[in-house]
Amino acid sequence: MPETKNLSYAESVNAALRRALAERPEALLFGEDVAAPGGVFGVTKGLRKEFGDRVFDTPISESAILGGAVGAAMFGRRPIAEIMWADFSLVALDQLVNQAANVRYVSRGSLSAPLTVRTQQGNAPGACAQHSQSLEAFFAHVPGLRVCLPATHQDAYDLLLSAIWCDDPVIVIENRTLYHAGKQQVRLGGDVQPVGGAAVRRPGRDVTVLTWGALQHRVLEAADRLAGDGIEAEVLDARWVRPLDLAAVLASVRRTGRLVVAHEAHTVGGVGGEVLAAVAEAGLPLRCPPVRIGAPDTRIPAAPGLAAAVIPSTEVIAEAITKSVRA
Amino acid sequence: MPETAALLAHLESMRRIRSFEEEVTRLRATGEVVGSVHLCNGQEAIYVGACAALDLSRDAVFPTYRGHGWTLACGAPPHALFAELLGRATGINGGRGGSAYLSAPEYGMYGENSIVGAGAPIAAGAALAATFDGSGRVALAAFGDGAMNQGAVHEAMNFAAVRALPVIFLVENNHYSELTPIADMVRVDRLFKRASAYGMPGARIDGNDPEAVRQAVAEAVRRARSGAGPVLLEAMTQRIVGHYIGDAQHYRPSGDLDAALAAEPIGRLGRDLLGLGVAQSELDELEARVAREIADASARALADPVADPTTVLEHLYA
């Protein structure tokens, strides 16, 4: 029976993991410092005690973690592997891109790797260049993988469960700036949702703003601010960048005639460009050129003041939306 | 001393692999097989010996490159392999795997890898699953000497040792990591010594003697099934062909190939069997029987329809 609890984003992830471990005896949870320490962000607290050896710590060996997940998944387990920071996944990208994503295809479905990778990304004040990147486009580029970025407490719970229940390899990219940013009412229990599907976070008639991940909160702030100026932005949370809910984007853009895509990742080669291309290919009549907002083509600096100049701010987003509507 | 019948079975299995590779060489020359193909001629004793020690109804083999021999030794039909290499719809992976990325899980072969050493952590994962599912499964990760310098292999060995996973790490040491002598790439004279760095046993074995391989792998399997954890075996062998079809092997010093040919396992076991009193005619019959089987499998595969391009998008997601 569904129940509602007041939880932080981190506690929502924890609740999803607890439910998965309880309902799926084949589920395993492992990664660096996830068991006895409870995770460096406290996300996996208490799970080792409750589920014993199905929750375990690994060496600092991303290839072993992800390759181990591929092998265990091929043999009926439901591994949930934590990669502490998304940047660290690059150490073992082979196991995701060359291995996990290929297993089902090349074996014509006689093998599969239903694993879930939990990681977190994004910039937070003081984080260095190797702990700040937004890498969803890397993963979204790979056929065979599925990628989601929960931006709300409820989605932190729901999307993770969808990922674990999914029979394909899924990467869940959380955001550490959200982990302990406050509590919200989260509905626990209930049906596990299928993979995919965008969500309208704020309805509006003037412009569609597609976003995902932590940047969504700045987008909503900008949209609220602009409402005072008579601009009603529709904020659409992609939630999944693969599969991307293009139908939802097109339906919204058909109504508004304008599109702004806002993400924290670099614009060059990013998912935003892919969305703009798809909208262009669909031949929708736009009232103004579509816009991408993202980090400029540079590395991410450590100093908070410098980083702030790179990550799109509420002001930058508001300005881009305004320009788009007034164009 | 093993029974002559067992040795004859090893010989037949090795001869099947050799004949398969010889036919692939012919099909590559005629252009029927395209692309990069890595043959395993000379290394057959490792596959045949190891597979004889495994219970392939539950155990799992994860080879790296030169996978035709592993796949055949696991029991996959030559016809389905030829068809795979020829891009036929009847291929064991429907033309999606090809020479360097074969899989045949129904025969215990869970995926060759064409990323050197990448199968080692996956094998560890298969073994990890076994520690939870009570299957008693042992996973065997096979890779060349060159893979011993891959990070993924070291991560897998440490992970497996730490968790006492039922994995056998089997190095096919043919002395060349692709085109470069392994001796130029490591400063230890025996690769199995690295096992001690991870707290697991290691041993060097005669990789040109299928019975020696069978015994060593059988002992490792027994140990792994008992919960005592992984083992690293270094099977010494030689390639009697290039790294890939078309490799002229200019890098091999004079005499190197001749020595390899003199020691290769099929001729060696044939000579041993003659010494045990088996008649030459019996060996000739065995060879002719296997040759017919391979020729027939190849001809049938060539006559099969090519894989249907309209199915190319299938099987990407569940």
The answer to whether A203 and A181 are in contact (CB under 8 A) is no
Q: What is the pLDDT at residue B204?
A: 98
Euclidean distance between the first and the last CA atom of chain A, given in angstroms as a whole number: 50
Kindly determine whether residue B103 and residue A110, on different chains, have CB atoms separated by under 8 Å.
Answer: yes
Q: What is the pLDDT at residue B226?
A: 98
Closest-CA distance of chain B to residue A197, Å: 16
Residue A285 makes CB contacts below 8 A (sequence gap 6+) with: A257
pLDDT in tens, chain B (318 residues): 569 999 999 999 999 999 999 999 999 999 999 999 999 999 999 999 999 999 999 999 999 989 999 999 999 999 999 999 999 999 999 999 999 999 999 999 999 999 999 999 999 999 999 999 999 999 999 999 999 999 999 999 999 999 999 999 999 999 999 999 999 999 999 999 999 999 999 999 999 999 999 999 999 999 999 999 999 999 999 999 999 999 999 999 999 999 999 999 999 999 999 999 999 999 999 999 999 999 999 999 999 999 999 999 999 999
Residues of A with Cβ-Cβ distance to B96 under 8 angstroms: 105-108
Closest-CA distance of chain B to residue A217, Å: 32
As beta bridge partners, residue A241 has A244
Q: What is the dihedral of CA A298, A299, A302, A303, to 10 degrees?
A: -10
Q: Among A56, A73, A109, whose Cβ lies nearest the Cβ of B315?
A: A109
As beta bridge partners, residue A170 has A116, A146
Of B22, B15, B40, B37, which is closest to residue B87 (Cα–Cα)?
Answer: B37
As beta bridge partners, residue A236 has A200, A210
Q: Among A59, A74, A166, whose Cβ lies nearest the Cβ of B159?
A: A59
- State the alpha helices, DSSP H only, in A31-122: 47-51, 62-74, 93-94, 101-106
Sheet holding B167-173, edge to edge: B60-62, B139-144, B167-173, B231-236, B202-206
Nearest-angstrom CA–CA distance, B134 and B301: 39
Of B69, B86, B83, which is closest to residue B16 (Cα–Cα)?
Answer: B69
Instruction: List strand residue ranges (DSSP E) for B76-227, in order.
Output: 139-144, 167-173, 176-177, 180-181, 202-206
Nearest-angstrom CA–CA distance, B112 and B130: 20
How large is the ipTM? Answer: 0.96
Residue A225 makes CB contacts below 8 A (sequence gap 6+) with: A314, A318
Tokens of B263: 């020691």
Residues of B with Cβ-Cβ distance to A99 under 8 angstroms: 113, 115, 118, 122
Strands A27-31 and A55-57: parallel
As beta bridge partners, residue A206 has none
Preferred mutation among B96, B115, B128 to probe A, highest tally of A CBs within 10 A: B128
Residue A66 half-sphere exposure, CB side, CA atoms within 13 Å? 27
Q: Is B120 on the interface with A (CB under 8 A)?
A: yes
Average pLDDT across each block of 10 residues of chain A; the chain has 327 residues. List them in order. 94 98 98 97 98 98 98 98 97 98 97 98 92 97 98 98 98 96 97 98 98 97 97 98 98 98 97 97 96 96 95 97 94
Closest-CA distance of chain B to residue A35, Å: 14
Q: Which residue on chain A is closest to B151 by alpha carbon?
A: A63
The answer to whether A80 and A28 are in contact (CB under 8 A) is yes
Nearest-angstrom CA–CA distance, A205 and A225: 15
Q: What is the pLDDT at residue A1?
A: 72
Kindly determine whether residue A63 and residue B96, on different chains, have CB atoms separated by under 8 Å.
Answer: no
Residue B51 makes CB contacts below 8 A (sequence gap 6+) with: B13, B61, B70, B73, B74, B75, B108
- Select which of A131, A153, A263, A266 is catalytic: A131
Active site residue A131: yes
Cα–Cα distances in Å, from A238 out to A166, A226, A241, B28?
18, 21, 6, 48
Kindly determine whether residue B314 and residue A108, on different chains, have CB atoms separated by under 8 Å.
Answer: yes
Q: What is the pLDDT at residue A320?
A: 97
Kindly determine whether residue B155 and residue A103, on different chains, have CB atoms separated by under 8 Å.
Answer: no
Nearest-angstrom CA–CA distance, A42 and A214: 19
Residues of B with Cβ-Cβ distance to A106 under 8 angstroms: 93, 96-97, 101, 103, 111
Of A259, A257, A254, which is closest to residue A275 (Cα–Cα)?
Answer: A259
Kindly determine whether residue A67 and residue B133, on different chains, have CB atoms separated by under 8 Å.
Answer: no
Residue A205 makes CB contacts below 8 A (sequence gap 6+) with: A232, A234, A255, A256
Nearest-angstrom CA–CA distance, B235 and B143: 10
Nearest-angstrom CA–CA distance, B228 and B230: 7
Q: Among B96, B127, B158, whose Cβ lies nearest the Cβ of A106?
A: B96
Closest-CA distance of chain B to residue A235, Å: 29
Q: Is B199 on the interface with A (CB under 8 A)?
A: no
Q: What is the pLDDT at residue B1?
A: 53
Q: Is B134 on the interface with A (CB under 8 A)?
A: no
Q: What is the pLDDT at residue A264?
A: 97
Q: Is B89 on the interface with A (CB under 8 A)?
A: no
The dihedrals phi and psi of B36, each to the nearest 5 degrees, come to: -80, 125
Q: What is the pTM of this model?
A: 0.97
Residues of A with Cβ-Cβ distance to B122 under 8 angstroms: 67-68, 70-71, 74, 95, 99
- B123-163 pLDDT, tens digit each: 999 999 999 999 999 999 999 999 999 999 999 999 999 99
Q: Is B164 on the interface with A (CB under 8 A)?
A: no
Q: Among B105, B135, B156, whose Cβ lies nearest the Cβ of A111?
A: B105
Kindly determine whether residue B152 and residue A110, on different chains, have CB atoms separated by under 8 Å.
Answer: no
Q: Among B106, B122, B132, whose Cβ lies nearest the Cβ of A67?
A: B122
